[in-house]
Amino acid sequence: MKKALFLLLLITSACKTSTLAPDQAIEKLGPNPHMQIDDKALASPAEVQNYDAKDIASVETIYGRNATAIFGDKAKDGAVVIVTKSYAREKYRTFFSSVSKEYNEVIDEVNEDDIQYILNDNVLVNDFEGDLSTINKKRLKKITIINQAELESKYGTIDKKVGVVISATPPANLHNAKKKF
């Protein structure tokens, strides 16, 4: 079981974990950690194999008292919380819509493929869903919507109709946070 988790964490090492590297995080877990995907507990650890690593947005490992405080006794060996890209996308879209009227309007008017997300002046290209889903009211500083001309002027040639420029504080427990935020 730990081998499967280790491989999942290595494959998704760009994802959210603890501040530890994936191999160190997996070592802190006991032999039978509580596991969930998209807020649903897994009946068996083997269910992880039903998911393609490319569809995973983030993997968070929680151990010790933090795990039992969140999940109770079933997490006495720690917990592994997996979030798929589609679930993460829904999470950040819902949150951004709730805090920005402009964003809410853009989401209704523009196809998702025509939106370019920029986080702290970093143009997000691949596998960014997990990072955006970590943004909450405490971390969010500002969301600005820019048109295609502004997008190209400030960020270069980008084949998108709208830019969503986000300023946010990185989470303290995000692995490689300085590179991502």
Nearest to 38 by CA among 106, 102, 128, 129: 129
Quick one: how far is CA 152 from the chain centroid? 26
Quick one: how far is CA 163 from the chain centroid? 19
Number of structural domains found in the chain: 2
**Both structure tokens of 121:** 């002046």
Per-residue pLDDT band for 12 (boundaries 50, 70, 90) equals very low
Same domain, 73 and 118: no
Res 147: pLDDT: 95
The answer to whether residue 162 scores a pLDDT higher than 90 is yes
The residue ranking higher by pLDDT, 29 or 3, is: 29
What lies within 8 Å, CB to CB, of 21 at 6+ separation is: 13, 175
Tens digit of pLDDT for each residue in 87-100?
999 999 999 999 99
Tens digit of pLDDT for each residue in 55-72?
999 888 888 899 999 999
Same domain, 101 and 176: yes
Res 91: pLDDT: 96
The residue ranking higher by pLDDT, 10 or 106, is: 106
The residue ranking higher by pLDDT, 151 or 25, is: 151
Res 177: pLDDT: 57
Among 35, 52, 84, the domain-final residue is 84
Among 66, 84, 102, the domain-final residue is 84
Nearest to 27 by CA among 69, 72, 80: 80
Provide the edge-to-edge strand list for the sheet that holds 122-123.
Answer: 122-123, 115-119, 162-168, 140-147
Same domain, 176 and 94: yes
Res 174: pLDDT: 65
**Both structure tokens of 5:** 């988790």
What pTM value is reported for the model? 0.80
Q: Cα–Cα distance between 27 and 64 in angstroms, integer? A: 13
Longest alpha-carbon distance in the chain = 54
Burial of 72 (C-beta count, 10 Å sphere; 0-12/13-18/19+): exposed
Same domain, 80 and 163: no
Q: Cα–Cα distance between 141 and 154 in angstroms, integer? A: 20
